[in-house]
Amino acid sequence: MTKQEFVTKLKDLNLSVADFAEMVGLHPASVRSFNDEKRPVPDWIDSWMKNYEKARALDELLALIEKFKK
């Protein structure tokens, strides 16, 4: 994942760098320092973002089902 892909995915997920950093236990400055040459975006971030997106979609679906459960 390139730095630009990472930034775009954060926007798609409506996450700030600070939000993401807190969720994964990194300092925001560490996340901001990702680049495509000396400090590439770690490989695990792509799968983390996919899982986060799925979990959020499931939470939204469960909340919708709960509304009609009565």
Q: Identify the pLDDT of residue 69.
A: 84
> Buried b vs exposed e over 19-32: b needs ≥16 C-beta within 10 Å?
ebbeeeeeeeeebe
Structural domain harbouring 8: 3-68
* pLDDT block averages, 10 residues each, the chain of length 70: 96 97 97 93 97 97 90
Distances from the Cα of 7 to the Cα of 31, 60, 66, angstroms: 10, 23, 33
**Tally of domains in the chain:** 1
Helices and strands in the chain: count of H runs, count of E runs: 4, 0
Cα–Cα distance, 66 to 26 (Å, whole number): 34
